[in-house]
């Protein structure tokens, strides 16, 4: 039996979960377990988390808790953290380790099905709308979400293919590995194929897009701390980032679905 009070005391703060916005919490839970919890339960972040803890598969609950604890460790644990909080953190870690029995990097057939259901053309369209809505009002946020969408796409494809993912991989590593598994790297294009050199050039440009996305995100995206004299990029830069990410995501996802359809 799960001691829900320990989990609630650590993560659920009057309906909020840590410093997540609803959109970011849904992105986080999707990346962790293949489900956007607020979208699924139509409740606050805190209530959605506890609903999943109460009704979700133990292994999946454990996986999400492990990921939340890792996030908590990075952003909340420091030399000034109170002992009572550290105690709850350690107790929660024991619960997570007891529940989670699987390999961090592999997904079951059921999980694969959930990933396909969650990350699909409709989901991509929804994220594109969110990014487009942010371009003018918050270009920095749009840049961050553009990179996150590309990361989610690659992790989903690799997860469904049961490819081991190193948590230390950069965005470039993720895209490179995804392209390799989908046989989209230039070496898979035979020289005798029609327009072989053009195809190889386009595929090489995909790597350039990835590098550009990472370089834009690192100093300017929403996922990094900012100095007091920080100046963000404008909406034209955000348009470039979002357009590049959408092009790459659609190409990778369409290729994956086409290959999956051929195998089935």
Cα 33–92–21 angle (5° rounding)?
50
Q: Residues with Cβ < 8 Å from 240, sequence gap 6 or more? A: none
Total Cβ atoms within 10 A of residue 177: 19
- The answer on 237 and 112 residing in a single domain is yes
- The answer on 154 and 192 residing in a single domain is yes
pLDDT, position 3: 78
Distance in angstroms (rounded) separating the CA atoms of residues 70 and 32: 12
Single out the residue in 49, 66, 99 at which a domain terminates: 99
- The answer on 115 and 59 residing in a single domain is no
pTM score, whole prediction: 0.52
Residue among 198, 182, 150 nearest 263 (CA)? 182
- The answer on 145 and 78 residing in a single domain is no
How many Cα atoms are found within 13 Å in the side-chain-facing hemisphere of 191? 0
- The whole-number average pLDDT for the span 156-171 is 86
pLDDT, position 169: 82
Q: At what angle do helices 22-33 and 109-118 cross, to 10 degrees?
A: 150
- The whole-number average pLDDT for the span 3-25 is 89
Single out the residue in 47, 81, 99 at which a domain terminates: 99
Note down the domain range covering 21.
4-99
- The answer on 231 and 213 residing in a single domain is yes
pLDDT in tens, 19-74: 899 998 998 898 788 889 999 999 999 999 999 999 998 888 998 998 898 888 87
Return the higher-pLDDT residue of 72 and 208.
Answer: 72
Single out the residue in 44, 65, 99 at which a domain terminates: 99
pLDDT in tens, 210-251: 666 656 655 444 444 444 444 556 788 788 888 888 888 888
- The answer on 130 and 23 residing in a single domain is no
pLDDT, position 240: 83
pLDDT, position 65: 92
- The answer on 162 and 228 residing in a single domain is yes
Overall domain count for the chain: 2
pLDDT in tens, 98-156: 888 644 333 334 444 444 455 677 777 777 788 888 788 777 778 878 888 888 889 88
What does the CA dihedral 123, 258, 264, 107 come to, rounded to 10 degrees?
Answer: -50
Q: pLDDT category, 193, cuts 50, 70, 90?
A: low
pLDDT, position 226: 42
- The answer on 203 and 175 residing in a single domain is yes
- The answer on 140 and 114 residing in a single domain is yes
DSSP 187: G
- The answer on 125 and 77 residing in a single domain is no
- The answer on 183 and 231 residing in a single domain is yes
Would you call 59 helix, strand, or coil by DSSP? Answer: helix
- The answer on 254 and 126 residing in a single domain is yes
């Amino acid at each position: 039996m799960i001691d829900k009070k320990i989990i609630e005391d650590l993560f659920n703060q009057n309906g909020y979960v840590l410093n997540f916005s609803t959109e970011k919490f849904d992105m986080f839970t999707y990346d962790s377990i293949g489900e956007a919890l607020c979208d699924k339960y139509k409740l606050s972040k805190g209530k959605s988390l506890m609903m999943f803890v109460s009704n979700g598969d133990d292994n999946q609950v454990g996986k999400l808790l492990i990921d939340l604890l890792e996030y908590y460790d990075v952003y909340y644990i420091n030399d000034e953290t109170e002992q009572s909080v550290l105690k709850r953190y350690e107790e929660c870690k024991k619960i997570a380790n007891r529940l989670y029995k699987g390999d961090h990097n592999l997904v079951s057939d059921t999980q694969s099905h959930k990933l396909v259901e969650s990350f699909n053309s409709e989901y991509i369209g929804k994220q594109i709308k969110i990014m487009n809505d942010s371009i003018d009002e918050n270009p920095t946020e749009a840049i961050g979400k553009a990179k996150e969408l590309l990361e989610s796409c690659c992790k989903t494809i690799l997860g469904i293919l049961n490819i081991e993912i190193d948590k230390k991989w950069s965005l470039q590593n993720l895209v490179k590995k995804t392209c390799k598994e989908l046989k989209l790297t230039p070496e898979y294009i035979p020289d005798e194929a029609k327009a072989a050199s053009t195809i190889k050039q386009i595929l090489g440009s995909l790597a350039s897009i990835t590098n550009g996305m990472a370089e834009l995100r690192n100093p300017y995206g929403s996922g990094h701390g900012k100095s007091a004299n920080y100046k963000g990029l404008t909406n034209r830069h955000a348009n470039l980032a979002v357009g590049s990410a959408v092009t790459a995501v659609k190409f990778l996802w369409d290729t994956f679905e086409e290959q999956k359809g051929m195998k089935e």
